[in-house]
Homo-oligomer: A and B are copies of this chain.
Amino acid sequence: ALAFSANSFSNEELLELQQDPNLWVMQNGDYASTRYSELDQINADNVKNLRVAWTFSTGVLRGHEGGPLVIGDVMYIHTPFPNKVFALDLNNEGKVIWKYEPRQDTSVIPVMCCDTVNRGVAYGDGKIFLYQADTTLVALDAKTGEKIWSVVNGDPSKGGTGTSAPMVVKDKVYVGISGGEFGVRGYLTAYDTKTGEQVWRAYSMGPDADTLIDPEQTTHLGKPVGKDSGISTWEGDQWKIGGGTTWGWYSYDPELNLIYYGTGNPSTWNPSQRPGDNRWSMTIFARDADTGVAKWLFQMTPHDEWDYDGVNEMILVDLPFPGSAAGSAAQTTTATADTTEAKPDAGFKWRSLIPGKPAAADSTVAQPAAAEEPASNVRKLLVHMDRNGFGYTLDRVTGELLVAEKFDPAVNWATHIDMETGRPQVVSKYSTDQNGEDVNTTGVCPAALGTKDQQPSSFSPRTGLFYVPTNHVCMDYEPFQISYAAGQPYVGATVSMYPAPGGTNLGNFIAWDAQEGKIVWSIPEQFSVWSGALATAGDVVFYGTLEGYLKAVDAKTGKELYRFKTPSGIIGNVNTYTHKGKQYIAVLSGLGGWAGIGMAAGLTEPNAGLGAVGAYASLSDYSQLGGQLTVFELPD
């Protein structure tokens, strides 16, 4: 177990800590956002014996996203608004070492679009970083809970709120901003972990000075973007209230020193009011971690007409992939001319599939003799399961688009992604822009909350597969004129949601082959899977359901191995750690988030909650609001 020492914290600290599978030091487990753990005490054979070790109520209701961090013998958990933080002593049956209970103005609640969620705290430099709903970023002494500094990152009176988990890299902590439904112009900000001073801020749109885009060096699909690309595809001053908020997840490649994240929907939801591509909303950004300058970017959904925010997690893996982009595979492998595609089900040897982490034990996937030779053409990939229903695989060095395939066959708004331009081929009848204002475009799949929303996927280097919690929901979408008023909803569309045709299930939990762009297996779920997945070296994948089940499935086959009904619906992310040599699984329950907004906010009108209330109305037959940590173990 790790002991805190004031002097032991260096810029390299997190790079080291994330390599220790006994800990869980950042929300998605590692900088690569794999949500994968090398722990294997709990495995596909014995997971059926899992039982609850202990529990802890947070004392707060509504949606509990994110999950616990475990650093040494201390577990850190957080709550939705009012954003309490608890440090729990794992040596003393979860006794509270310290708690931080901020007082925040409740006026922030109505300007949070999708429940009063918070995706978790970050650790770094001996501090716990909490990003409050009111956009206050607070640095707390990890040992004592004392506030060291705080800084205000946005303006709730104009609709700016905080829900995302900060990320710490070296001496900086990064935070985003929410408020795409209030016309907030999104930005990512880097603060100094020691002082809280702002180091840089990069807007999603606007002049190059704001966006930290270098017109010559920053590329889109390999080409320089040119001057003020964050203005040129907007009409007039609309970029100033253009959305593209940064409320999702952030990843980091230590070798490339790049951070990766996506931007949200352009404001308003009424596309007719904002002609143009609305750059750089709906865009993956690769930025220099030190300077914030964009290296490359890629826009998934130009001129969004469906609210397909591009903020979902970016998973950074090194996998065999045909072709070799300059500077990519060459950096970690001896490039060979072999372009045979390595298929996960054929097995493969890997070296360092997760950047910044040591090579794990050999895959247990059945390996034909042919696969014994070192994998070639390993490329530095970025895998992003976008809300628009396409799973993207890009070269994360260059931003080259390698794969873009539907990860739910129900997706119908676009036929495919043009691999040259990266543009979706939109189906006219599902174009809310072509159909126009005050016309109800019906049967669009996915719904506004996408084939996947904030719920983070996981990746297992042992199977080479991505485990993706998904939504299987379609919608009717009727845009209308709206005028901007600071702090007022700037939505401009009426939406209603329902299950995709041919069934009643609102979700699937799938295994995804990001090299092939194919679903390997899929488990139908009654409700959307709004919980983040965990894959382990025990070849088990864990996820939670909105009914409240923690489920464990076989990483290779998807076969259910275990389920347990936790107190409330799960929209938290499953984590694992060891304490005194024993592996535990931990997850927060607490119904809410966009899918659970009806119950969380007490809404009953089907189109309320930005259209989500109706589809999920039957949730209350399974689960009520809550806020609990459940920790699982194997019997001794």
Contact = CB atoms under 8 A, between A and B. Distances in A.
Contacts of A567: 55-57, 567, 628-629
Contacts of A96: 620-622
A43 interface: no
Nearest to A623: B57
A95 B621 contact: yes
Nearest to A599: B59
Interface in A40-91: 51-52, 54-59, 61, 86
B589 A57 contact: yes
A626 interface: yes
A625 B57 contact: yes
A265 interface: no
B626 A54 contact: no
Given A54-B564, A564-B54, A624 B61 contact: no
A420 interface: no
A99 interface: yes
Contacts of A518: none
Interface string A563-600: 01111100000000000000000000100000000010
Contacts of A630: 55
A436 interface: no
A58 B566 contact: no
A94 interface: yes
A566 B55 contact: yes
A255 interface: no
B58 A61 contact: no
A327 to B, nearest CB: 50
A628 B567 CA distance: 7
Given A95-B621, A99-B620, A57 B565 contact: no
A93 interface: yes
A460 to B, nearest CB: 28
Given A51-B51, A565-B54, A567-B567, A59 B95 contact: no
Per DSSP, chain A at the interface is mixed
A262 B621 CA distance: 39
A297 B96 CA distance: 48
A626 B625 contact: no
A232 B53 CA distance: 59
17 contacts: A51-B635, A52-B564, A54-B564, A55-B548, A55-B565, A55-B566, A55-B567, A57-B568, A57-B589, A59-B568, A59-B599, A59-B624, A59-B626, A95-B621, A96-B621, A567-B629, A626-B628
Contacts of A566: 55
How many copies of this chain does one complex carry? Answer: 2
Interface of A: 51-52, 54-59, 61, 86, 93-96, 99, 548, 564-568, 589, 599, 620-630, 635
Contacts of A565: 54-56, 93-94
Given A51-B635, A55-B566, A57-B627, 18 more contacts: A51-B52, A52-B52, A54-B565, A55-B548, A55-B567, A55-B628, A56-B624, A57-B548, A57-B567, A57-B589, A57-B625, A94-B565, A95-B621, A95-B622, A567-B628, A626-B626, A626-B627, A626-B628
Contacts of A57: 548, 567-568, 589, 623-628
Contact of A625 (B59, B95, B624): B59
A630 B628 CA distance: 12
A214 to B, nearest CB: 49
7 A-B pairs with the lowest CB-CB distances in the bound complex, closest first: A57-B626, A59-B624, A57-B567, A59-B625, A57-B568, A52-B52, A54-B565
Contact of A59 (B59, B61, B93, B621): B61
A584 to B, nearest CB: 13
A407 B622 CA distance: 44
A565 B90 CA distance: 13
A86 B624 CA distance: 10
A157 to B, nearest CB: 26
Nearest to A98: B621
Q: Name, among A56, A599, A622, A629, the residue most crowded by chain B CB atoms within 10 Å (CB to CB).
A: A56
Contacts of A94: 565
A548 B620 CA distance: 26
Contacts of A54: 564-565
A51 B548 CA distance: 18
Contacts of A86: 624
Nearest to A89: B621
Contacts of A51: 51-52, 635
Contacts of A625: 57, 59
A629 B564 CA distance: 14
A87 to B, nearest CB: 11
Contacts of A627: 57, 626
Q: Name, among A52, A567, A621, A625, the residue most crowded by chain B CB atoms within 10 Å (CB to CB).
A: A567
Contacts of A93: 565
Nearest to A632: B52
A58 B564 CA distance: 17
A571 to B, nearest CB: 13
Nearest to A567: B57
Contacts of A628: 55, 57, 567, 626, 628
A55 B567 CA distance: 5
Contacts of A599: 59
A182 B373 CA distance: 84
Contacts of A589: 57
